[in-house]
């Protein structure tokens, strides 16, 4: 294509990654930007900061704010919101499946998984839930999961998560331009995409 | 007036409070909203979460991101940016002075203090710097500081900071509507002001 690309880094445990995943395709298309969907695990980045749980659980004041904010964000976007239990969900399996898929199918799986998790409150940490999501896309759950759980694919996710840490991502979601400008948060999608096409605002 | 009001909660140590303080008056005027300038100390809220320093110092990944982001934010607003040393500055004296002033003068002092601190990198924790800022507004530094350091005024700031904690502010800056909707961050000024006048987006 030779056009402008931007990396969309997201974690399946991350609340704000949900509205970001649902909004980004249209915003990118309107600016002619290609999105590279990059699932990663934010856990090692948090662990390096001493956090063994979601900061939204460790710091209840932040957690209460975030859930109310998510209600508002999803409300204005007409996205359903239902908190999964427990929160956060272990996101390793979903990330392994996403990174094992290519192109349009990766995006479709990603959006379907976020919808299941935060739109319907389903436990995407569970293999049965992920299998159902895969099947809903017309893929073989058995073959897809076998590929996702293969050692080369597990390593691929590990390398991608290590890259996120090396770039210095402070959390999820983030958009990162070719020049490694990082934009953190669902709030910043428009600004990041504008930046990618040379518009500063 | 009987019009719509919104509380602007800010801490003089808070980086993102600087662009917020510089942007908010025009945004509020455009919507016919009155801003109530409410300085407070975020320190006790952070201390209750176990933080004894700025999270931007405790968590270097967040800190690096924040300073680069501040460069971009201030760049697009044409605001100068110079990091004060040390960071964060102790903000107690500035907050005491701000809360001791009323009406237009509180706003003028607040903007002047943020400009000095983050626009020029001056150490607003120092009494001499605060005295110079007060004098630049045409006020008597001696009389203003004496009033700011009086016990009733110190208590006023303590009560205001306790109120911020009781409301559940997760950080600074925040806008809070009469119905106690909290909007956190310089990113959210427009959304909060729209919300205050009944526009949901």
Q: What is the pLDDT of residues B129-146, one digit of tens each?
A: 999 999 999 999 999 999
Spatial separation of the C-alpha atoms in residues A140 and A130, rounded to whole Å: 12
pTM: 0.94
In this prediction, the answer to ipTM > 0.90 reads yes
User: What tens digit of pLDDT does each residue of A9-68 get?
Assistant: 999 999 999 999 999 999 999 999 999 999 999 988 888 888 888 889 888 999 999 999
Instruction: Out of A48, A61, A170, name the one closest to residue B170 (CB).
Output: A61
If you average pLDDT over residues B67-83, what whole number do you get?
Answer: 97
The strand ranges marked E within chain A are 5-10, 34-39, 174-176, 182-184
Q: What is the pLDDT of residue A1?
A: 47
Which of A43-52, A129-138, B83-92, B185-194 shows the lowest mean pLDDT across its residues? A43-52
A62: Cβ contacts below 8 Å, ≥ 6 apart: A55, A56, B170, B171
The dihedral over CA atoms of B91, B4, B32, B191, expressed in degrees to the nearest 10, equals 70
Distances in whole angstroms, Cα of residue A19 to Cα of each of A5, A103, A114, B102, B185: 20, 20, 9, 41, 18
The dihedral over CA atoms of B69, B75, B80, B82, expressed in degrees to the nearest 10, equals 30
Q: Are A113 and A12 in contact (CB under 8 A)?
A: yes
User: What tens digit of pLDDT does each residue of A142-174 get?
Assistant: 999 999 999 999 999 999 999 999 999 999 999
Residue B94 or A50, more confident: B94
Nearest Cα neighbor of B35 from B172, B175, B180, B156 is B175
State the pairing for strand pair A5-10/A174-176. antiparallel
Instruction: Out of B49, B68, B69, name the one closest to residue A61 (CB).
Output: B49
User: What tens digit of pLDDT does each residue of B151-184 get?
Assistant: 999 999 999 999 999 999 999 999 999 999 999 9
Residues of B in contact with A187 (CB under 8 A): 185, 187-188
Tokens of B70: 């501040």
What residues of chain A have any CB closer than 8 angstroms to a CB in chain B? 45, 48-49, 58-59, 61-62, 64-65, 68-69, 72, 75-76, 168-171, 181-182, 184-185, 187-188, 200-201
Which of A143-152, B57-66, B99-108, B118-127 shows the lowest mean pLDDT across its residues? B57-66
Spatial separation of the C-alpha atoms in residues B83 and B81, rounded to whole Å: 7
Subunit contact A187:B185, Cβ cutoff 8 A: yes
Tokens of A2: 């030779």
Subunit contact A182:B76, Cβ cutoff 8 A: no
Spatial separation of the C-alpha atoms in residues A179 and A35, rounded to whole Å: 15
Subunit contact A61:B168, Cβ cutoff 8 A: yes
Q: Please report where in the chains the tokens 């100390």 appear, as a residue.
A: B41
What is the rounded average pLDDT for all residues in chain A?
95
Q: What is the CA radius of gyration of chain B?
A: 16
Residues of A in contact with B59 (CB under 8 A): 49, 170
Spatial separation of the C-alpha atoms in residues B73 and B70, rounded to whole Å: 5
If you ran DSSP here, which 8-state letter would residue A185 be given? S
Q: Is the pLDDT of residue B2 over 70?
A: no
Distance from CA of B7 to the nearest CA of A (A): 17
Instruction: Out of B75, B182, B187, name the one closest to residue A65 (CB).
Output: B182
Handedness of CA A120, A121, A125, A128 (dihedral sign): negative
Residues of A in contact with B172 (CB under 8 A): none
């Amino acid at each position: 294509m030779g056009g402008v690309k931007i990396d969309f880094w997201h974690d399946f445990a991350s609340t704000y990654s949900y509205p970001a995943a649902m909004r980004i395709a249209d915003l990118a298309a309107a600016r002619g930007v290609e999105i590279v969907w990059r699932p990663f695990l934010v856990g090692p980045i948090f662990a390096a900061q001493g956090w063994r749980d979601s900061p939204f659980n460790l710091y209840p004041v932040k957690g209460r704010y975030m859930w109310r904010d998510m209600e508002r964000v999803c409300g204005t976007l007409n996205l359903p919101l239902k908190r999964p239990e427990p929160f956060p969900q272990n996101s390793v399996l979903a990330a392994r499946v996403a990174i094992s898929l290519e192109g349009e199918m990766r995006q479709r799986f990603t959006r379907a998984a976020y919808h299941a998790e935060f739109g319907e409150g389903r436990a995407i940490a569970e293999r049965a839930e992920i299998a159902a999501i895969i099947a809903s896309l017309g893929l073989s759950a058995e073959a897809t999961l076998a590929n996702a759980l293969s050692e080369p694919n597990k390593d691929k996710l590990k390398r991608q998560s290590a890259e996120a840490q090396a770039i210095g991502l402070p959390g999820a979601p983030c958009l990162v331009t070719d020049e490694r400008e990082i934009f953190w948060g669902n709030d910043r999608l428009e600004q990041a995409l504008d930046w990618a096409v040379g518009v500063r605002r």
